[in-house]
Amino acid sequence: MNEHTISDASALSGWRKSSYSGNESGSCVEVLDGYWAGVPVRDSKIPRGQALIFRDSSWTPFITSIKNASA
């Protein structure tokens, strides 16, 4: 694992569907709260795949840009 990814996201527990994900079945982003290095994000369709880790200082601008893109 480097500082920006987790190679097998299923190694961590407590994933939840992001409130910014749509209602499409099986097509959502999951996040993990309380992770020491930032906010891990994974694709729910690939639970054993990589997760990206956003630093806390980058998380809010990331979410803001997602909300603006979908508006």
Find tokens 């200082």 and name the residue: 57
| Total number of domains in the chain | 1
Assess whether pLDDT exceeds 80 at residue 31: yes
d(CA 67, CA 16): 19
Give the range of the structural domain holding residue 17, as residue numbers without chain letter.
5-70
Q: What is the pLDDT of residues 40-66, one digit of tens each?
A: 999 988 999 999 999 988 888 888 888
CB 53 within 8 A of CB 35: yes
Q: How far is CA 39 from CA 5, 14, 25, 31, 42, in A?
A: 10, 12, 23, 7, 10
Interatomic CA distance for residues 70 and 47, integer angstroms:
25
pLDDT in tens, 10-20: 999 999 987 76
The Cα 15–Cα 30 span in angstroms is 6
